[in-house]
A and B are shown apart, each in its own frame.
Chain A
């Protein structure tokens, strides 16, 4: 189990990971408005930051808009893989930048909201106690990830993604003066633009024991 500890570099590991595509065995099926979750697995990327992050597992959740076979095919063949990659990357940039991909102790979480729209970034920054590991930043020296999954529900009219909800489950423990088990759970809302997916809203809760 990798131990994420503060390392020298502060640059973030964008553990944008995607385990692409294995098994969406549903490929040729006639398409349902809600596909059952299927795991996507991808090569992990390696960040150049100090902390060595555990990559998220990214899953495809419910897909709406693909009830016709041709739309399902359009989605699966042309959009599913890049969608999961890009949404995973956006969400991972928050998870890494805000919690588990940075060095501790630290003073700020400057890159946590890089994938957020400007208004969402301002709001998230105001709620940094919730949206980052702010309260523990000076009391821990490392993090161990226990669980890190992203499940992506997609709105894809005619098979073309136009909106997505990323359901996030993150569990990690901390080392140092404060040894806690932290759970971050919630949803991020994303829309596409300029070749990327952007987080325009969220509904997140955090707890620690």
Chain B
């Protein structure tokens, strides 16, 4: 008689030297990207110098993932950030949260007065954008990851696309005429880009788009997680990513970040979008006036253990 005891508890943990992690987006980057050449710099990963790093539990690492709208030839770290997602990972529990910020959020930008939040990338690069988003939510990211949408497409293609659960059907004339049906769907790189960018046809515009970006990030992370145990998968992905990356991080830290990201349990990822009212700036631009108290309430949750129990 054979008694079978199975303690399959999968425990992983990472945390080394409190270094950080890159988030869900880096996950995509750390995937097996095609090793073609020549390679151009397609994304930047910047470690933010913080004076108040101790404010966040050492198990918790925050990364601001930014999709830049830079056109070819433009400096993508000095244009406007179109997608803004603050990803926070608990390296002990392997849970994560994503807080989306509408790009038109009208906020104070340190040293530049009131402006749309995404303008801070133009004014001061990843560091200032990280600070501005951090001030809104109350959680300062340790890393800021910026990529342009074109490269984002390549990243998703390189992992064979992603599978997501789309809450509602929608379409868009120039980007996706046939649209996306509701339910479980597969997205290619182009589809993921379109899914993340479409705004005009969505009932709640920028808020819905931000939620869609979060769905895509979760899909990417789940795909990375599912492949992480393939021999050499993370190692190869990081090497390939490095060839296209501008960063102030050493390779060893990138490796740790990638492992941290890959270990996040996809079932433990919760996403929320900062809500707000629609308004017009003094200059006549359409803006979102973010509900700062709601953003701070999300930040308060995340600061505790990196997770969101509700969207506040």
Task: Identify the closest chain B residue to A204 (Cβ).
Answer: B11
Q: Mark B1-42, 1 if CB is under 8 A from A, else 0.
A: 011111111111111111000000000000000010000000
Chain-B contact segment, one of A4-12, A46-54, A117-125: A117-125
- B232→A153 contact, CB < 8 A: yes
- B17→A67 contact, CB < 8 A: no
Of the residues A64, A65, A187, A192, contact of B229 by C-beta under 8 Å: A187
Q: Roughly how many angstroms separate A129 CA and B11 CA in the complex, as a whole number?
A: 11
Of the residues A33, A131, A165, A201, contact of B239 by C-beta under 8 Å: A33
User: Within B96-143, which residues are at the interface with A (CB < 8 Å)?
Assistant: none
A196 within 8 A of B: no
Assuming the A-B contacts A155-B251, A189-B259, are A202 and B231 also in contact, with contact meaning beta carbons closer than 8 angstroms in the complex? Answer: no
- A117→B17 contact, CB < 8 A: yes
Of the residues B5, B92, B232, B255, contact of A191 by C-beta under 8 Å: B255
Q: What's the nearest-Cβ distance from chain A to residue B46, in Å?
A: 19
Q: What's the nearest-Cβ distance from chain A to residue B126, in Å?
A: 23
Task: Identify the closest chain A residue to B228 (Cβ).
Answer: A203
- B16→A208 contact, CB < 8 A: no
- A203→B239 contact, CB < 8 A: no
B244 within 8 A of A: no
- B232→A205 contact, CB < 8 A: no
Task: Identify the closest chain A residue to B94 (Cβ).
Answer: A203
Task: Identify the closest chain A residue to B238 (Cβ).
Answer: A155
Q: Roughly how many angstroms separate A200 CA and B16 CA in the complex, as a whole number?
A: 5
Of the four ranges (under 10, 10 to 19, 20 to 34, 35 or more), the interface on chain A belongs to 35 or more
B199 within 8 A of A: no
- B235→A120 contact, CB < 8 A: no
Q: Mark A145-162, 1 if CB is under 8 A from B, else 0.
A: 000000101110100001
Of the residues A33, A165, A198, A206, contact of B35 by C-beta under 8 Å: A33
Of the residues A65, A130, A201, contact of B16 by C-beta under 8 Å: A201
B166 within 8 A of A: no
Task: Identify the closest chain A residue to B2 (Cβ).
Answer: A209
Of the residues B12, B13, B92, B255, contact of A155 by C-beta under 8 Å: B255
A30 within 8 A of B: no
Task: Identify the closest chain B residue to A180 (Cβ).
Answer: B5
- B231→A167 contact, CB < 8 A: yes
B236 within 8 A of A: yes
- A201→B15 contact, CB < 8 A: yes
Contacts of A203 on B, CB cut-off 8 Å?
A: 10-12, 228-229, 263
Contacts of A162 on B, CB cut-off 8 Å?
A: 250-252, 255
B164 within 8 A of A: no
B48 within 8 A of A: no
User: Within A166-202, which residues are at the interface with B (CB < 8 Å)?
Assistant: 167, 180, 186-187, 189, 191-192, 198, 200-202
User: Within B182-235, which residues are at the interface with A (CB < 8 Å)?
Assistant: 228-229, 231-232, 234-235
Assuming the A-B contacts A191-B252, A209-B2, are A204 and B12 also in contact, with contact meaning beta carbons closer than 8 angstroms in the complex? Answer: yes
A61 within 8 A of B: yes
B256 within 8 A of A: yes
Of the residues B9, B16, B236, B256, contact of A205 by C-beta under 8 Å: B9
A127 within 8 A of B: yes
Assuming the A-B contacts A33-B35, A200-B256, are A117 and B12 also in contact, with contact meaning beta carbons closer than 8 angstroms in the complex? Answer: no
- A127→B238 contact, CB < 8 A: no
Of the residues A124, A151, A153, A191, contact of B235 by C-beta under 8 Å: A153
Identify 6 residue pairs between A and B in the complex whose beta-carbon atoms are under 8 Å apart, listed by A's number: A33-B236, A64-B240, A130-B9, A151-B231, A162-B251, A198-B16
* B contacts, CB < 8 Å to A: 2-18, 35, 58-59, 91-92, 228-229, 231-232, 234-236, 238-240, 242, 250-252, 255-256, 259-260, 263
